[in-house]
Structures are given as C-alpha cells and as structure tokens.
Structure 1
Amino acid sequence: MKSAYDKKELQKVFNENPDILPLQEVKSSLQNLDAQILYKKRYNNFFYPSSKQKGQSGVAIYTKYNPTSLIHGFNSSFDNEGRIQKIEFDKFNLYNVYFPLGATKESLKSKFEFYDLFMCYVNKSNKPQIICGDFNRIVSEIDGYNLDLLKKNNEFSSRKRKMGQ
C-alpha cells in the first residue's frame, strides 16, 4: 500500500472517484501508514492487517457510504491473516478477499480449505453479494508471468485452474 502511494498509483485510483475501493495485499499495519494514505476526503476507511505476520497480507476498503456493519474475518483459523472483510449495506454485501497463494502442497491444502470456508460463509446471506479480491489463481497461461516457475510451484495445477469456474 505504501509503495503504491509512493509511486502515486493510489492517487490515480482516487482521481477516478470510486464509490467503493477494496484493496488487497496492503502489507501494512495502521501504525506504518501516514495520514495521507489513511484519511481521504469523503471516504470512510476500514483496514484489516495481518496480525500473524507483520507486513504480509491485509485488506482495506475505502467507501463513500456508511455501511450497516463491517466484519473482519469469518470466524476461522485464517482470521489472524487479514484476509477478508465483509461490509454490509442495506441492499447488498461486499466481500473484500485476499485468497491464500497455495504455492506448496501444505499451503495448497490450506488454500482449498479457505475456499470451502469462504463459500459456506458467503452462502449464509440472502442479499445480493459482490465478491472482489485477489484470488491468487491462474485460469490460462495469459493470466501469469514466469510460467515455468508457476508450474513448478503448483500455481498452474489443473485443480487450481478449475477453482471458481
């Protein structure tokens, strides 16, 4: 997040005047962000950094609207990783999600568990749902770079490509 701010990329996005701006992989605690990043005129902001690994994961939402509620995490073992925010409005729910990478066999198992838990969580609501985030998945070769490395690290497995289709 700080890097995007330093490169003026974050300001370019705010210049587009979005109503809601969900961000993933913010990799910052609130103490590491200065006021120019945290507080934007006309926006409420909600940060959910990782408490497990400082400088890793983390999600944030800027919104011009007042939500009826905000939930960080989804009551699972992943909650200390700063991976999911659910922001509720009168007519819909918005989920801001940073999905696990799944680069090793052990973390791939964890990724599939996260997907299963997340789908159960989302299916509990009768409201329209908007899901946005970094899904950390590659459906086709055009979606990734350094394909040889990705194939070596399970990032291009057929099972992972089928997720979400």
Structure 2
Amino acid sequence: MRIISFNANGIRSAASKGFFEWLATQDADVVCLQETKAQEHQLADALFRPLGYSVYFRDASTKKGYSGVAIYTRRAPDEVRTAMGWTDFDEEGRYIEARFGNLSVVSFYIPSGSSGDERQAFKFKVMDWLTPQLQQWRDSGRDYVLCGDWNIVHTRNDIKNWSSNQKNSGCLPAERAWLDLLFGGQGWVDSFRALKPDAVEYTWWSNRGQARANNVGWRIDYQIVTPSLRERLQSCSIYTEQRFSDHAPYLVDYRA
C-alpha cells in the first residue's frame, strides 16, 4: 500500500504545475492533501478527479480560499469523517479521516503560528486539545496513519538552520516538546525516522530568497503511525524532482 501526503498550497496551483500528471505515475492507494485553498464546487473539473480515485474534501467554511484538506483513495472507504468536535478547528478545514476496516487514514493540517501571536496562541491551543484525542486514538486498537503538514520540526536533522530558528514558530522548544510527547510518551511512530534514522531531508522551503535552490528547508510533513504499523513500514521518499508547491510530496510504502 502506498500513501502520499502533500501540502499543495492551493490545489489548483499545484495542478497547473503538473501535480496530477505526476500522481498518475505513482500507483498511490491513498493521497492526503492539505491546503487545498478551494471550495469543492470549484473542483468539478475532471483534472481534480483522476480516473480510479474517489475524492473527499473538507473545505474551510470560515474563509474561502483558505486551508482545506482532501483524501483521494482507490478503495471506497467504509466511512469518512470531517469533524473532530471543536468548531474553531473543524471549520478551518483541517481534518478529514477515511476508514477502511480497522485502518484510519487522516489528512491533518496543523495551524501555523508564523503570522503572529494570535495564530501562535491558536496553534498551542490546538496542540493541547489534540493531545488527549491522539492518546485516545493511540489506545483504540485501530491502526492510524496521520498524514499532513504539522508545521513543526522535531530534531536538528529536520531543519537546515537549527540555532537561528529556536525562537521561530515551527521550531519553538514547546512545539518540539509536544512531538516528543507524541513520539515518546504516547508511542506514535514518525515513519520517516523509523525508516531513515539519520537522514537529513526536507519537505518545505521558504519562497524567500533561494531557499529551495540552496536546500535551506524544514521537514514538517509527516506520516505518523500507530506502533501496530511500525513493522509494516517498507520504504519512504520525499519527491523533489518537480516543484508543485513550496512543499514536496512525502511517499510511504507499507507492507501488506
């Protein structure tokens, strides 16, 4: 089974840069998108609904052209969920979950705090609210794959300029400590680090300057899995040969 996670930074923009043509060559079973920046009625064109896939959207209702998540899947899910029960989070279009038997695949878009103190405070609120929810999922007996842009690096190898970003959103000690809690205290598994313990690879680059050309990046896109799936992790890669957005697609292959 192949699962792809990708922050499109506008699904229409990514499509214009060849994302769906590339996707057609990937034999992906499930594709989780974040930051679609569109309403579903704007995506009726066949380009956004590739042959062989069912697609499910959760748009932002608070502001058009903002946030939004989607799941493309070859197999019809048993159930699709689009709300976790907190309006402030749900209405920004930050969560969608497809259920296949005992497996849940989630497309998450964790808020960024880079625009100012108000959004950083909301990000911390989201983190605090998600903590018991994720623990409940972890303890449920279901297999979970949590895809998405989490807007947080975890370790020094996940960011080019570690020291100079310690006071910047996405690399704050409190944010990284939260990932410590998820990976350590709760036992969730970072698929990339499980497969590539020492690799230095990134999934996002600022549009400022020559960040991408100089590989001044951050690894903030994840597939985080329950411990039950650790042994099924086969391989992973970050696709950087083409540029569809400021993020790169993150692919994971799982053993049957």
Asked whether 1:21 is paired with 2:43, we answer no
Q: Which residue of 1 aligns with 2:43?
A: 33
Per-residue deviation, 1:153? 4.3
Match of 1:51 among 53, 56, 61: 61
Match of 1:72 among 56, 79, 82: 82
Match of 2:131 among 101, 116, 119: 119
Please tell me the residue identity of whatever aligns with 1:73.
A
For residues 88 and 134 of structure 1, do their structure 2 counterparts lie closer, same or farther at Cα, with a shift above 3 Å needed?
same
For residues 140 and 10 of structure 1, do their structure 2 counterparts lie closer, same or farther at Cα, with a shift above 3 Å needed?
farther
Counting only pairs closer than 5 Å after superposition, residues 1-165 of structure 1 correspond to structure 2 as 1-76=11-86, 77-103=88-114, 104-122=116-134, 123-124=136-137, 125-140=140-155, 143-144=158-159, 153-165=168-180
- Aligned partners of 1:135, 1:34: CA distance in 2, in Å? 28
Unaligned runs of 5+ in 2: 1-10, 181-256
For residues 78 and 68 of structure 1, do their structure 2 counterparts lie closer, same or farther at Cα, with a shift above 3 Å needed?
same
- Aligned partners of 1:59, 1:5: CA distance in 2, in Å? 15
Per-residue deviation, 1:143? 4.0
Per-residue deviation, 1:102? 1.7
For residues 155 and 39 of structure 1, do their structure 2 counterparts lie closer, same or farther at Cα, with a shift above 3 Å needed?
closer
- Aligned partners of 2:128, 2:52: CA distance in 1, in Å? 36
Per-residue deviation, 1:162? 2.3
- Aligned partners of 1:67, 1:29: CA distance in 2, in Å? 22
Per-residue deviation, 1:114? 1.5
- Aligned partners of 1:59, 1:129: CA distance in 2, in Å? 17
Please tell me the residue identity of whatever aligns with 2:109.
Y
For residues 148 and 21 of structure 1, do their structure 2 counterparts lie closer, same or farther at Cα, with a shift above 3 Å needed?
same
Please tell me the residue identity of whatever aligns with 1:40.
P
Per-residue deviation, 1:16? 0.5
- Aligned partners of 1:150, 1:54: CA distance in 2, in Å? 31
Per-residue deviation, 1:22? 0.5
Please tell me the residue identity of whatever aligns with 2:91.
N
Per-residue deviation, 1:34? 4.2
Contact 2:166–2:173 (8 Å) recurs in 1: no
- Aligned partners of 1:54, 1:144: CA distance in 2, in Å? 31
Per-residue deviation, 1:61? 0.4
SS across alignment from 1:85? strand
- Aligned partners of 2:162, 2:65: CA distance in 1, in Å? 26
Runs of 4 or more consecutive aligned structure 1 residues displaced over 6 Å after TM superposition? 145-149
- Aligned partners of 1:164, 1:152: CA distance in 2, in Å? 17
Per-residue deviation, 1:78? 1.0
